[in-house]
């Protein structure tokens, strides 16, 4: 009988291919990486690669999407029953997404590379912005009037900027 789509073996194979892509991007840049490089580095054959992905762009998109979803999921963990969190009420577990980024820093270091996963430099800050808009309620000190849309955008892209340096 065949394995289920999310079997531990298939997940492990995907992780190895993803890790190979990350390391190779750091070594030679995304556009220089070939399928041959990925399968050689991960010690799999081409047919195994093509069972899981159509091409390196499919692998890169899958990797990026899963990491960004992981950030979104980690933000919601402490607050399953609350739609949004007032920033004045934040506790240390409110920053699980920072722990997630640190835990997966091998991937997130790719933001420091010019020739990296396509759309990383746009999707990642947009994900942070989405989290800020959907999960947090920002309040100013002494209720000083501020355009919160601009403030949220500024804060999200500022956070992304801190990570990229």
Helix (H, G, I), strand (E, B) or coil at 150: helix
51, part of any domain: yes
| Tens-digit pLDDT profile for residues 103-124 | 999 999 999 999 999 999 999 9
3, part of any domain: no
Q: Give the pLDDT mean for 36-49.
A: 97
81, part of any domain: yes
Considering its fold, how many domains does the chain have in total?
1
pLDDT given at position 2: 46
**Residue 94 reports pLDDT greater than 80:** no
Residue 31 is part of a domain; what is its CATH number?
1.10.357.10
| 34/23 Cα distance (integer angstroms) | 13
Pairing type for strands 136-137 and 85-86 reads parallel
| 73/50 Cα distance (integer angstroms) | 29
User: 């209720």: which residue's tokens?
Assistant: 143
Q: Residue 65 belongs to what domain range?
A: 8-163
Q: Does residue 24 contact residue 38 with C-beta atoms inside 8 Å?
A: yes
């Amino acid at each position: 009988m065949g394995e289920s789509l999310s079997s531990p073996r298939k997940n492990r194979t995907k992780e190895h291919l993803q890790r190979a892509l990350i390391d190779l991007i750091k070594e030679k840049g995304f556009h220089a990486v070939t399928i041959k490089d990925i399968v050689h580095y991960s010690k799999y054959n081409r047919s195994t690669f093509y069972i899981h992905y159509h091409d390196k762009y499919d692998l890169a998109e899958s990797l990026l999407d899963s990491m960004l979803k992981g950030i979104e999921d980690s933000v919601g963990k402490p607050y399953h029953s609350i739609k949004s969190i007032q920033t004045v009420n934040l506790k240390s577990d409110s920053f699980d997404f920072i722990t997630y980024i640190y835990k997966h820093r091998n991937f997130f270091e790719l933001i420091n590379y010019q020739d990296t996963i396509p759309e990383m430099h746009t999707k990642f800050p947009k994900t942070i912005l989405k989290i800020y808009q959907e999960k947090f309620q920002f309040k100013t000190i002494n209720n000083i009037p501020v355009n919160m849309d601009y403030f949220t955008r500024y804060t999200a892209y500022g956070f992304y900027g801190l990570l990229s340096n």
